[in-house]
Structure formats: C-alpha cells, structure tokens
Amino acid sequence: MKGKGHADAARVAVVGGGSWGTALANLLADKGYPVDLWVYEPEVRDQIETLRENQAFLPGVTLSENLRPSNDLDAVISEKDLVLLVVPSHLMRHVVMQMRDALPADAVLVSAAKGIENDTYLTMSGVIREVLPGIRDDRLAILSGPSFAREVARKVPTAVTAACKDPAVAQFVQAVFSCPYFRVYTHEDVIGVELGGAVKNVIAIASGIIDGLGLGLNTRAALITRGLAEARRLGVQLGADSRTFSGLSGVGDLILTCTGSLSRNHSVGMKVGGGMRLKEILAEMKMVAEGVKTARSIYFLSRKIDVEMPICEAVYGILHEDVSPMEALSRLMGRSLKDEFDGWAA
C-alpha cells in the first residue's frame, strides 16, 4: 500500500495528451517529477519534444523539460508507482485494456476523466474495475473538481478533490499533486465524486443552451440549483454520500462548468441554443465535450433505476431526439408543482 511518505519519490506516468492531461503532467513535471506522458498523436509527441509545447491541445504554454512524451503506452506506464488516466470517458475501456500487461501490480491508478460509459452506465472506476477484475481499493483513486486546464497551466489558484476508499492512498495522491497553486483535498466517496463530475457536464450543456437562447441569469441560477438536486438524487440512489455534492466535485465543478467561458460543454450548449445542429457542432470541435455522450448514459441510467432527472432528460431530448430547446424548456416549466425538497433523501 502506498502512503503519504512515498510521494516525493513516486515514479509517475500520465496517460492522455489532451489539454487536461498535458496541464496535469506539466504541473507534476514542474514539481520535479520526471513525468512520462503518453500521447496518441505522433505530431503532438513531436511538438512537445522539439518545441516544448502542445500546440494541438494546450497552445501557448511552455512545458517543463521534465515532461517526456511518448507514443509507446507500455513504456510509459511500466515500473510506475502512480498512473494518471486522462483520456475521454468513451475511450477509457479501450485504453485500460491496452495497459493490462504492462501495468505494475502495485501501481495506483488515478482517473481524472469525467463521464459515464454508454451501454454499461458505469463510472470510470467501474470501467476500470471491469477491465481489471480484482483491483484493490488501495490502487484506485479519482481526481476531480472545478479546474479548467488552461487556468491550471497558467498556475491560477485551484482546489480539487482526490477520492479513494483507502484514506492513506487519497493522502498519497494529495501529496503528489498538491503545490502552491493546486490545493488537493481528500475524500473517501469515490462514486459521489465521479457522479458529480459526470452530471455537471450535462447541466453545463443546458446552461449553454440558456445563454444561446438569450435567457437571463434567473434562469441560469434555477438551472444550476435544480441540476445539483438531480446529481444528488442520482448519487444517493447509487450509494454516494449526500455531502459530496456540496463540495468541490459537486457544486464547485457545477458552477465552474455552467458559467465559465472555457467550458466546452457550455460552448456546445450555446451553439445548440443558437440554432446549430449537434452534428455540425461536433464536426468543428477538436476536443471532446463529455456531456454529449454522458447525456445519453444518464438518461437511460436514471430511467433504469427510477431516479427523476428532468433537466438531464431535457438535454438528452435536445441532443439526441431533436426536441427543440424551447419545447424542452416549456416542458420543464410546465411540470406539476411540488415541494422544493420532495425526494431529497438524506
């Protein structure tokens, strides 16, 4: 089992060379860790090696000399104490399957991906557990919270949560990632932290739709508040600690993604609200907006376990069933009246 005292000597790999993976890899490299970064695209590897910049996904940020990019996944993860997974949620299963043979038996896996897998309705820890059956609780952690990659890369003060069922491992992850501008708190509620990070992306699309329609701040405030209620209802039903949704990975991440101009999910929503079709929006995007696929997962998961999530249902209808934004809004506002805390389980 890893402990906090081992953090300074940890051997670290980052799997995923998008904006968030690159920002976190650079944070660790700036702390002095020799960081091996797996990137899929040979041109991204070349950019980082020769220019010390990820021009494709994090342009304008000079990367540490301690950051070593590679397209060889086995070489990147072998003999590592901590492997950070920062790949799109729909690729998590495929990437972890590729890692199975080279992954050290005692390495701590940290997922920084936010989403719920289509078809299985598993969170990322669930996907990892299915691909790596028998993985111990002291080998699997989640890193989540309100954090835009570009701001972390600029060393803007940021606070996130490291969750693991083993408190000692959460403290190990906390020690590895914490630095003067990146404060990490610990928590034991893995499923709650994951669900907060997944649901907020769907609510952020709804927030963007509101802005794209030219509606007001009243509407956005109501959306964020009721969206939080939906995330909490889903989480409690799946065994999460209700307090988690009042924390960084819950309301904190929700506020950031629903209001921040750097949010890809909010941007997708704005374009939908402005009249663009989803297929056109996705065709012009280089980076992934997780909420698009997660909207489908949450819609079917909530129906399967009988959890009321009307905002997420509305987003699913708009994105995947051609319901017009104004029709979806009318349905939401016309629902039967009720007590605000109806169904608010402890």
Q: Max alpha carbon distance in the chain (Å)?
A: 61
Active-site residues, by number, are 200
Ramachandran area for residue 145 (φ above 0: left; ψ -120 to 50: alpha; else beta):
left
Q: Which of 157, 214, 208, 237 is nearest to 315 (CA)?
A: 208
Give the other-Cβ count within 10 Å of 130's Cβ.
Answer: 14
Task: Assess contact for 92 and 12: CB atoms under 8 A.
Answer: no
DSSP-derived 3-state class of residue 291: helix
DSSP β-ladder status, 158-163 and 140-144: antiparallel
Task: Assess contact for 28 and 14: CB atoms under 8 A.
Answer: yes
Task: Assess contact for 263 and 205: CB atoms under 8 A.
Answer: no
> For residues 307 and 116, what is the distance between their CA atoms, to the nearest angstrom?
16
β partners of residue 81: none
Residue for token pair 């408190």: 167
Number of alpha carbons in the 13 Å side-chain half-sphere of residue 2 = 33
Task: Assess contact for 34 and 9: CB atoms under 8 A.
Answer: no
Q: Which of 210, 209, 208, 243 is nearest to 228 (CA)?
A: 243
